[in-house]
Amino acid sequence: MIIGKKTRLRPIEKDDLPRYVRWLGDPELRSYLNTVLPLSQTQEEKWFERNLQSGNEQAWAIDAQPNDMAMGPWQHVGSCGFNEINWRTRAGEVGIMIGLREYWGRGFGTDALQTLVAWGFYSLNLNRVTLRVNADNVRAIRSYEKVGFMLEGRLRQATFANGAYGDELLMAVLREDWARAVSEAEADAEAGPSTN
């Protein structure tokens, strides 16, 4: 288990799979992902078994506590993980999904991704973490920038959802940039609020 400030990441269990089936049945949620069709329980179970065997993929369940005071039971709200890891170049691609709509826009995705990226750099010894995002997913892009991701490229008309083509953005964060951002954030926290 990996603990963040607002979330915790834990291995996905077979009991979690019905929630994924329900979440991926939501057309709006799917429009932000590379998943075109809803998935059945059988398809999720096959993915789960493949994930257990993979050395280049690591998926985590995202749990959050319903109130901001971090008290009460944990609730499974989404998923994140490394979709692909290249051990030679020490690079990994991440993905994230908050499945419960009531947890959208409340910082849980940002915290989960920040926790996952830190784990990738400090536990897996990665040097580079990348992701792909639909160019019209403004809320996600803002979250990724908070974590330290920077735009590296644009794939024109690379996605198709709701009858229209859209661009896909490539974003990445390097370990050296991450370490510098963490140091600056810690220094700002120690300095306290600005009086300007």
Series of mean pLDDT values for 10-residue runs along the chain (196 residues):
92 88 83 74 79 74 77 87 92 93 90 95 96 93 93 94 89 90 67 56
Residue 70: the pLDDT is: 57
β-sheet bridge partners, residue 169: 133, 154
Cα gap 119→29, rounded to integer Å:
26
CATH superfamily placement of domain 2-191: Gcn5-related N-acetyltransferase (GNAT) (3.40.630.30)
Residue 30: the pLDDT is: 78
